[in-house]
């Protein structure tokens, strides 16, 4: 096992499993293929998955970028991503990997410029990162109505920055409007499984970035609502998706060094997947 770079506490996050047309997803992950979803495993898919669809994981996070602390960068960053699980990186027809469609990083409280260096460092390391603006700008989501608690989150990719007067030119990528769910369609294990799959990098390597939720103040909550994916920011995945299932929690992320994809797959931590 390679040494862990450093623990990176993710203070709060929200994930949504968006059922996107399978043909569009298959085209987006080329040159790799999609694996068959293990829908027979009721611990992951107790209610199956819609025919002709494939899961796209849409995420919004708030984190401290401790791994870059030596560079004297702001520790508080916002993040977002569109990722596809169950991608056949090894070509063996069975080992799942996570494929980045787009991944974003943003400065805390509107300090967009502070995300530029983390984006560059991440991109050079094999994870292409785009600088983005987030709503809200200090958390992964915000409460907009308390009577029947309703939350929103929004990601906008910055195309032309304007640090002087703002906001510059942006492309809307994703919006989510959601509520707490009392009848979740997926257990927490499903989300843990998706995000624990090794990430395919752009440099022939892969990377494990597991998030651990096995501590007292995980505060996991299941969500349900609508997710809007917007072109061109979200490409062929554009659409308004209703009844989307989600999960929010607090966790601790471990960032490993990039390694061979075979090694990354062999060393997935079962504690993170549980």
Residue 273 lies in a domain: no
Residue 35 lies in a domain: yes
Range of the domain at 94: 4-268
Paired sense of beta strands 150-160 and 129-135, if any: antiparallel
Question: For residues 142 and 134, is the Cβ–Cβ distance under 8 A?
Answer: no
Q: Which of 181, 207, 182, 210 is nearest to 195 (CA)?
A: 210
At residue 7, φ and ψ (nearest 5 deg) are -70, 135
Q: What is the pLDDT along the chain (274 residues), one digit of tens a residue?
A: 333 344 445 568 999 999 999 999 999 999 999 999 999 999 999 999 999 999 999 999 988 654 544 444 556 788 899 999 999 999 999 999 999 999 988 877 666 655 565 655 656 566 778 888 899 988 899 999 988 899 999 999 887 666 555 667 778 899 999 999 999 999 999 999 999 999 999 899 999 988 999 877 888 999 999 999 998 878 899 999 999 999 999 988 887 889 999 999 999 999 989 8
CATH number of the domain that 150 lies in? 2.40.400
Domain count for the chain:
1
At residue 73, φ and ψ (nearest 5 deg) are -95, 160
Residue 69 lies in a domain: yes
Return the SS3 of 87.
strand
**CA–CA gap between residue 138 and residue 61 (Å, rounded):** 10
Q: Which of 111, 120, 163, 158 is nearest to 138 (CA)?
A: 111
Residue 46 lies in a domain: yes
């Amino acid at each position: 096992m390679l040494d862990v770079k450093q623990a990176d506490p993710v203070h709060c996050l929200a994930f949504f499993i968006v059922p996107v047309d399978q043909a569009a997803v298959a085209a987006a992950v080329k040159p790799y293929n999609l694996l068959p979803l293990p829908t027979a495993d009721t611990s992951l898919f107790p209610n199956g998955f819609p025919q002709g669809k494939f899961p796209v994981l849409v995420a919004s996070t708030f984190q401290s970028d401790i791994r870059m602390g030596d560079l004297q960068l702001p520790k508080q960053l916002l993040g977002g991503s569109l990722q596809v699980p169950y991608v056949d990186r090894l070509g063996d027809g069975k080992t799942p990997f996570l494929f980045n469609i787009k991944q974003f990083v943003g400065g805390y409280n509107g300090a967009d410029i502070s995300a530029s260096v983390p984006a560059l460092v991440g991109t050079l390391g094999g994870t292409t990162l785009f600088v983005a603006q987030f709503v809200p700008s200090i958390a992964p989501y915000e409460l907009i109505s308390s009577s029947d608690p309703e939350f929103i989150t929004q990601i906008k990719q910055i195309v032309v920055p304007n640090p002087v007067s703002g906001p510059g030119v942006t492309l809307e990528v994703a919006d989510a409007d959601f509520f707490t769910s009392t009848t979740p369609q997926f257990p927490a294990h499903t989300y843990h499984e998706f995000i624990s799959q090794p990430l395919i990098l752009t440099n022939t390597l892969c990377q494990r970035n597991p998030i651990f939720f096995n501590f007292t103040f995980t505060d996991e909550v299941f969500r349900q609502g609508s997710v809007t994916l917007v072109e061109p920011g979200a490409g062929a995945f554009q659409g308004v998706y209703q009844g989307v299932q989600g999960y929010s929690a607090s966790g601790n992320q471990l960032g490993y060094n990039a390694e061979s994809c075979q090694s990354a797959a062999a060393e997935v931590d079962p504690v993170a997947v549980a």
